[in-house]
Amino acid sequence: MKRAFKEIISGFYSLVIGMRITIGQFFKRTVTVQYPYATLPIPARFRGHIELVRDPETGQPKCYACKLCERACPSDCILVDGAKLEGAKKKSVTVYKLDFTKCSLCGSCVEACRDAAIRYSRDYNLAGFSKEEYIMDLFAKLQAEAQAAGVPPEAPATVRPVKSEPAALPQTQALVPGARQGQTQQELRPTVLAQTQTPLPGARQSQVQQELRPAAPAPRSEPPKMEPVKAAAP
């Protein structure tokens, strides 16, 4: 009998605590982001579809159509072609198409690229109405970008409108800083990773580092701490 009463009272008290907590939340500010009007910052290591990188000095694509990315692609979704222009030392890219319907965003192409001429774009608004919209002409996109930036196009390109205009975002860092021309990625990787100054947050990278330097503990970035929920009265 006594226990039953105790149960009723403690049960009711727990309900009151629940109500108090929810009304506390009611008067706090909202935490959601109203998507089309506001967006969250994209993480620095966001891996979108690939895009060509412009040489900041000449304004022309860094890519010289070596086709390593084309070969590295497991889904066979990249098409590259290049031509040697008059007086140029290297070939220049003339066609760079990405069939995004097949791309699995594995990033093998970016890893294979010797000169950091392609990188992950930060574009994620990729909804579309037809399949054709996803055969992306990255070269045309780059030329349009260059034109917008005031660099005369090297060759007349047929610019196909791309789904979403790339926003003015901070330049994504080249995947492997310090990679030099001539060295292959495979040779480069251990030394470069060991040289990397900022610790890479991903688990895989830390693993690599640990393998490389077993003595030194790999610097791990702390996982973001959740704001502790205010504990209710017991």
Binding site for other proteins (CB under 8 A): 8, 15, 18-19, 21-23, 25-32, 34
Coil vs helix vs strand at 51: strand
**Token pair of 225 as six digits:** 């701490």
Q: How far apart are CA 210 and CA 204, in angstroms?
A: 10
Instruction: Report, in Å, the least distance between residue 33 CB and other proteins.
Output: 10
Instruction: Report, in Å, the least distance between residue 129 CB and other proteins.
Output: 23
Residue 7 vs 187, nearer CB to other proteins: 7
Measured at the alpha carbon of residue 174, what is the angle toward residues 90 and 67, in degrees to the nearest 5? Answer: 40
Residue 22 vs 197, nearer CB to other proteins: 22
Could you tell me the sign of the dihedral formed by the alpha carbons of 101, 102, 103, 109, in that order? negative
Residue 28 vs 89, nearer CB to other proteins: 28
Instruction: Report, in Å, the least distance between residue 132 CB and other proteins.
Output: 31
Residue 15 vs 105, nearer CB to other proteins: 15
Q: Which helix (H) or strand (E) holds 119?
A: strand 118-120
**Alpha carbon of 41 to those of 21, 46, 169: distances in Å?**
30, 10, 10
Instruction: Report, in Å, the least distance between residue 18 CB and other proteins.
Output: 5
